[in-house]
Amino acid sequence: MSDTITVHDKCFIPYLSSNEIVEKVKELAEKINVDYEGKRPLFISILNGSFIFSADLFKYLKIEAEICFIKLASYKGTKSSGQVITAIGLDTDIHGRDIIILEDIIDTGKTINQFLPQVYNQQPSSLKIAVFLHKPDATVFPVKIDYTCFTIPDKFVLGYGLDYNGLGRNLPQLYQLKED
Ligand code: IMP
Ligand code: MG
């Protein structure tokens, strides 16, 4: 793995390699292939952070599957702003569908909890949540997560779609904020 990197004003240390990440994402795809055999789930990917996780996971699915995107945002710098903004809403009919929500990371749980009522209101036939990363120690708004690639400590991470003030999403591996 490569060394410490600097993004804006902060230093980050390597945390999860791209091989470790890809293996976990493949494992998750395999589970979904089994659990949804004979079905045609609709994935709802939450932008921006989930775009790389969603694309990678989607490539490894062998079942029939559809995907759509919505955009929610609550982060400013390395702390949750506490306010969730819907920048792009749901434009697909989800009534009677098997829905799997794709999130890059569940931190406080606020973003996902704000979005869930919109989904339930449209009465999907089933709803599951798949996350790339889960920080259980940061939970403020509990949510039932069905699939998780990695459970991580409550420290800010960067890469594989996750940013620090707009940068770092293109890093193929995951980095963790270096403590001063
Ligand atoms: P929550 O609403 O607090 O659960 O935050 C969820 C959103 O905050 C995620 O979709 C990410 O976009 C962002 N986020 C949370 N933790 C991190 C992190 O460690 N690095 C980068 N973005 C994060
Ligand atoms: Mg996000």
Whether 70 is in a domain gets the answer yes
Answer yes or no: is 101 within a domain. yes
- Active-site annotation holds for 93: no
Number of folded domains that form the chain:
1
Ligand 1 touching residue 160 (CB < 6 A): no
Q: Establish if 54 belongs to a structural domain.
A: yes
Give the pLDDT band of residue 78 (cuts 50, 70, 90): confident
Residue span of the structural domain in which 98 resides = 22-156
Q: What is the CA radius of gyration of the chain?
A: 16
Is residue 56 situated within a structural domain? yes
Amino acid 80: pLDDT: 67
pLDDT surpassing 80 at residue 81:
no
CB distance 10 to 164 below 8 Å = yes
Residue 174 included in any domain: no
Give the environment of ion ligand 2: residues with CB less than 5 A. 49, 104
Q: Could you tell me the CATH number of the domain that includes residue 141?
A: 3.40.50.2020
Is 175 within a domain? no
Distance (Å, rounded) from C-alpha 7 to C-alpha 68? 30
Structural tokens at position 10: 């902060």
- Give the percent of the chain with pLDDT over 70: 94
Rounded CA-CA distance 37/93 in Å is 22
Confidence bin at 86 (pLDDT 50/70/90): confident
- Ligand 1 proximity of 115 Cβ (cutoff 6 Å): no
Give the helix/strand (H/E) hosting 4.
none
Report if residue 14 sits inside a domain. no
Mean pLDDT, to the nearest integer, of 142-166?
Answer: 97
For residue 162, the ligand 1 atom closest to its alpha carbon is: 21
Look up the pTM and report it.
0.94
- Of ligand 1's listed atoms, the one at least distance from the Cα of 80 is 3
Using pLDDT thresholds of 50, 70 and 90, give the confidence band for residue 26: very high
| pLDDT category of residue 87 using cuts at 50, 70 and 90 | confident
Q: How many CA atoms lie within 13 A of 118 on its CB side?
A: 15
Q: Over 60: is that where the pLDDT of 52 sits?
A: yes
Sign (positive or negative) of CA dihedral 74, 80, 81, 84: positive
What is the reported pLDDT for 163? 96
Residue 172 lies in a domain: no
Which one, of 68, 54, 143, 65, lies nearest residue 104 by Cα?
A: 54
